[in-house]
Structure 1
Amino acid sequence: MWERIRATCLWLVLLLTFPGHAAPWSDIAEKAKGQTVHFYLWSGSPDALNYLHWAATTLQTRYQVELQVHPVNDLDQVIKQLTPKPGEAPHPTEIDLLWLNGLSFAHLRNHALLYGPLVEQLPNWSYVNQTLPVDKDASFPTLGLEAPWGMGQLVFIHDAKLLYNPPQNFSELLSYARAFPGRITYPRPPQFLGTQFLQALLIELTGNDPALQRPVDKANFADITAPLWRYLDDLHPYLWHQGMSFPPSGNAMIEMLAKKEIDLVPTFNPNMLYAAQSQGRLPLSTKVYAMDSGALTNIHYLAIPAQATAKEGALMTINFLLSPEAQSRKGMINIWGDLSVLRSESLSGALKHVPTYQAIESPAPSWANALNQAWLKRYGNRR
């Protein structure tokens, strides 16, 4: 409740401080010419950096906007640069564009350090799939201060020749594991996929308890997660290696599926299947699907600092990255393979045929770490 009240107050502040009539897009495009946009993002995605090299060249050629990409190991240091010290006023910055995660966004939003609302200004906003939870970033309302750029969805890969009727929910997954011992497993938390598996399982077992959309409360954490540990205690004896060891990653599980050691592989990107097929690592009989209730979904966003010196250029950059052309290219498995946030009819190429599943919102960010720590405490002696 308090998060909704806080979000409403922030929205009212934005309405009172943002200009009543945003500048026409033609004016924004004209002012953007000659601007240099400094884009800060996490350095851990080589495919994203290669993709942005193409985007930078295109922006310069078409719109006379220079995009300089600054990959960093720790985005928190960039966030600190944007945060005034107590008693100081915000100062102009050459940090013009950010690829944010939920906690960083929440910090900047709550301190009024982001420009916007901006999404309604973007001509390409009309292509965005509004059935996705694009108004929330890891449970925090975006209030139009971020533009969605891409997403991940928790889905499962199986070989239809060997498993033609895969489990449609986690209750069926447990039944399948009991019937076919050793054929199911999941990556070891805190590996990202392992954490997502735990969160999706907890959501189903608790009926998506509203508490999952709020920060973890130590007072009720044990009660809320009790069904999860009971389920895992039941499941683990029937897993690969009797649940005494776990694969290190989704890629390792792809190899296990190819060798017919296991029957099901979780992935946060359906394109992982198509990439593996194109590389000859998986047969064409392998398919991807989501559980009946939908797919745990995590959307990643772009935002502009309030004190950015190249706001128009940053807006032009975001709008271009939301274009059907740029989103279709981003989704190509030989480019990046990142899922699009646009409606499928606006896309071209193979990405047009990659399914988007009913989205299940991810829990608040603190749940990931709390679940990992609790899992390690219970099962961490296993390899």
Structure 2
Amino acid sequence: MNTTPTTLTRRSALTLLGGSVAAGLSTASVAADANRASWATLAKEARGQTVYFNAWAGSDTINAYIRWAAQQVQERFGVRVEHVKVSDAADVVKRVRSEKAAGKQDGTVDLVWINGENFLAMKREGLLYGPFTDRLPNFALVDTRGKPTTTLDFAEPVAGMEAPWGMAQLTFLVDSALTPKPPQNITELLAFARANPGRVTYPRPPDFHGTTFLKQLLLDLNSARDAFYKPVTPEAFARASASLWAYLDSLHPQLWRAGKQFANNAATTRQMLADGELRWALTFNPNDAANEIAAGRMQASVMSYQFPGGTIGNTHFVAIPVNASAKQGALVLANFLLSAEAQARKADISVWGDPTVLAVPRLSAQDQKLFVGKTVAGQVHNAAPAIPEPHGSWMAPLEKEWLDRYGA
């Protein structure tokens, strides 16, 4: 039977297409095998290493979780983890900076818990090892699409230089027995403070929570937000912050101790709320109140909520300094922290209550079951949209100006 040119073309195309698909599958398979082999080699090299994990140590529950993770990594992968307890990640940045300037190749920091302006400083100064996230098998589980802050740290592209660890969002607390209808925006918050003089405050900047509250006000007071997601300029800062200072000038006289003094940190405001001294407090972990209630430190009537229009949210990360002594061990630890098991345990209210960075619906049915928990008192019932953090460069001038105006 004669074959027309058209038929020949179609057959040839199908043959070529089949060959291309097969080649593509073969290439992908080879790449996957190579990645597995590469990770196996890396994990073997990591055995026997000691990873000095520099992480904030201000919470007993978080410290306990890190101890658990360290034990698991030791038992499963032969990597020893030492939790170097720090109060401020900025101190770790200074140490890495000094070590690099001195030419120290075997640095004292192998992994650091970090985000925001500290990440920005390390990235810009060449203090980070990487990119490395594409080497972590468990990074494929991260919800980079639904949780865009897993790839943007305070508007700065992560570019694989740090691995996401957990999610956070500005959340407010009230005792529903005393405040059944809490303020739902900053206008209502000012009215609430006036109606309850001396019963509202916020942490003193540069405490992280206090600065975050200022950023929330800054965003809510400015409908045009594009400038906040670019490196700050003096002109942009002056223009955007004018309404903030006007708002604070009205708010502060209504605050605890007439705005002449401020709480040292968010934990203090939560304790003051539990003691009845305050009627409103804040946190950056949506599950903090649930944890406090479970521990018996807060009344079961305390509720968590977020402004319906959205509150600032971000991701916190772990990163490896450029001069880390145990890079392979740090990668093994970072990968374990992204496992479904480790993320589910971290999200458990009874353990830490830190929201996961993973795309839970994409996990296996067995792993999804790890994240199923009961609703408990104190949890946020109606989560609001997360507003991305402004670019990290806005923090320093914001804190400086606040201190100049109100810090005396």
Letter in structure 2 aligned against 1:283: Q
Indicate the larger mover: 207-216 or 314-323.
Answer: 207-216
Give 1:28's aligned residue.
39
Deviation at 1:58, TM superposition (A): 1.2
Is it true that 1:129 corresponds to 2:143 in the alignment? Answer: yes
Structure 2 CA distance for aligned equivalents of residues 75 and 144 of structure 1: 20
Which residue of the other structure, out of 363, 387, 403, is the alignment partner of 1:360? Answer: 387
Deviation at 1:324, TM superposition (A): 2.0
Structure 2 CA distance for aligned equivalents of residues 248 and 65 of structure 1: 37
Structure 2 CA distance for aligned equivalents of residues 307 and 245 of structure 1: 42
Structure 2 CA distance for aligned equivalents of residues 120 and 102 of structure 1: 21
Q: Trace 1:201-212 onto structure 2 (pairs within 5 A).
A: 201-207=217-223, 209-212=225-228
Structure 1 CA distance for aligned equivalents of residues 107 and 289 of structure 2: 41
Give 1:191's aligned residue.
207
Give 1:348's aligned residue.
371
Change (3 A) 1:372 1:261: same
CA contact (8 A) 2:347 2:371 kept: no
SS at match of 2:150: coil
Q: Trace 1:130-149 onto structure 2 (pairs within 5 A).
A: 130=144, 131-132=146-147, 133-149=149-165
SS at match of 1:280: coil
CA contact (8 A) 1:161 1:285 kept: yes
Letter in structure 1 aligned against 2:138: N
Letter in structure 2 aligned against 1:377: D
Which residue of the other structure, out of 66, 86, 89, is the alignment partner of 2:80? Answer: 66
Is it true that 1:297 corresponds to 2:308 in the alignment? Answer: no
Structure 2 CA distance for aligned equivalents of residues 351 and 360 of structure 1: 27
Unaligned runs of 5+ in 1: 1-19
Q: Trace 1:234-313 onto structure 2 (pairs within 5 A).
A: 234-305=250-321, 310-313=326-329
Letter in structure 2 aligned against 1:348: F
CA contact (8 A) 1:216 1:366 kept: yes
CA contact (8 A) 2:291 2:352 kept: no
Unaligned runs of 5+ in 2: 1-29, 362-367
Structure 1 CA distance for aligned equivalents of residues 344 and 308 of structure 2: 27
Q: How many residues align?
A: 359
Provide the TM-score with structure 1 as the length reference: 0.79
Give 1:9's aligned residue.
none
Change (3 A) 1:248 1:76: closer
Structure 2 CA distance for aligned equivalents of residues 314 and 362 of structure 1: 27
Give 1:7's aligned residue.
none
Deviation at 1:75, TM superposition (A): 0.8
SS at match of 1:248: coil
CA contact (8 A) 1:42 1:75 kept: no
Change (3 A) 1:311 1:253: closer
Give 2:19's aligned residue.
none
Task: Note the aligned Cα RMSD (angstroms).
Answer: 3.3
Give 1:39's aligned residue.
52
Which residue of the other structure, out of 396, 401, 407, is the alignment partner of 1:369? Answer: 396
Letter in structure 2 aligned against 1:38: V
SS at match of 1:216: coil
Deviation at 1:30, TM superposition (A): 4.0
Is it true that 1:54 corresponds to 2:74 in the alignment? Answer: no
Deviation at 1:135, TM superposition (A): 1.1
Change (3 A) 1:296 1:235: same
Deviation string for 1:338-375 (max 9, x for gaps)?
Answer: 44323456453659886665322222334333223322
Change (3 A) 1:43 1:282: closer
Structure 2 CA distance for aligned equivalents of residues 180 and 53 of structure 1: 42
Structure 1 CA distance for aligned equivalents of residues 167 and 42 of structure 2: 31
Give 1:314's aligned residue.
330
Change (3 A) 1:307 1:255: closer
Give 1:228's aligned residue.
244
Letter in structure 1 aligned against 2:167: M
Letter in structure 2 aligned against 1:198: L
Change (3 A) 1:352 1:63: farther
Letter in structure 1 aligned against 2:92: L
